[in-house]
Amino acid sequence: MVRMGDFFDLGTVAKRFRFFAVLEAVSWAGLLIGMAFKWIPRLLDALNLGVTDPQIVVGVKIFGPIHGGVFIFYVLIALLAARELEWSRRTTLLALVASIPPFATVWFERWAVRTGQLGELSAGAAAEGAAPAATRS
């Protein structure tokens, strides 16, 4: 498990990739919640359920640009990570495609750690996984 202090350590490209993968998913969540507050009242109003359309768009106005900016940073850091960590074209394509569906960047980051694609983060995960097995007798 990643400690909070380690999560905000952006000293390497792998750590920056992890940070932006999680941040991209969080910004997706904010945008989806904002979209729900915007569109669910309209849907209920259209179905004549007695709900007036309050036009709650503040969530989209806030999280739309945030998500857009984080998305761009994620794509850039994914391309940088692909170059520095020598990812294959397939891995690079997976990282870029993961930026489109909600929360897929976190799935990709976990997969990349597990399969050894994120340098020292993968080595650290392997060491953590091996430690309990080594202590068993």
For residue 86, being part of any structural domain is answered with yes
- Tens-place pLDDT, residues 62-77: 899 999 999 999 999 9
Give how many domains the chain has, as a whole number. 1
**Distance separating alpha carbons of residues 125 and 64, to the nearest angstrom:** 34
For residue 134, being part of any structural domain is answered with no
- Tens-place pLDDT, residues 74-125: 999 999 999 999 999 999 999 999 999 999 999 999 999 999 999 888 776 6
Say which amino acid occupies 78: A
For residue 101, being part of any structural domain is answered with yes
For residue 125, being part of any structural domain is answered with no
**Distance separating alpha carbons of residues 62 and 1, to the nearest angstrom:** 31
CB–CB of 113/121 below 8 Å? yes
- Tens-place pLDDT, residues 20-49: 999 999 999 999 998 888 887 777 666 766
Range of the domain at 112: 13-118
